[in-house]
Amino acid sequence: MCDLRRPAAGGMMDLAYVCEWEKWSKSTHCPSVPLACAWSCRNLIAFTMDLRSDDQDLTRMIHILDTEHPWDLHSIPSEHQEAITCLEWDQSGSRLLSADADGQIKCWSMADHLANSWESSVGSLVEGDPIVALSWLAGPHGPRRGL
């Protein structure tokens, strides 16, 4: 179950969305890994989940959910080798940064401006420590690239 809340007037939290997920066997879903989640200004929700195949290969996935069409879940194999530690949307809600515990950072963009098609356009590696937070920088002339 997914229970996402957003701030409302008076500091209270309004329930914005609830979804029920099909139950996966414990051998395919890895709940021990902390999940990262981010909500964009376009009402797109990005969240992570690790999936284990029958032959025990681990795939670190990023899922994109449009809250206006919650039945259309779009899944991206992230190609991160370590657990994804954070996700961060840009100000337009069309690009997403992902980072992992090994210092790998990827920038995901909508392909052809479609919320159901994503590509990793650029990336970077910060060796040594896990990435625990990301932020986009905006200059005096508007938003800039995150990397």
Q: How far is CA 55 from CA 29, 70, 112, in A?
A: 13, 30, 35
Q: Supply the pLDDT for residue 32.
A: 46
Q: Where are the domains of the chain?
A: 37-125
Maximum average pLDDT range among 65-74, 90-99, 137-146:
90-99
pTM above 0.85, yes or no: no
Instruction: Output the six-digit token pair for 89.
Output: 């949307």
The SS3 call for residue 141 is coil
pLDDT band at 91 (very low <50, low <70, confident <90, very high): very high
Instruction: Output the six-digit token pair for 40.
Output: 């964009």
Render pLDDT for 51-63 as a digit per residue (tens, 0 to 9). 776 776 778 889 9
Q: How far is CA 15 from CA 19, 40, 47, 84, 88, in A?
A: 11, 16, 18, 26, 21
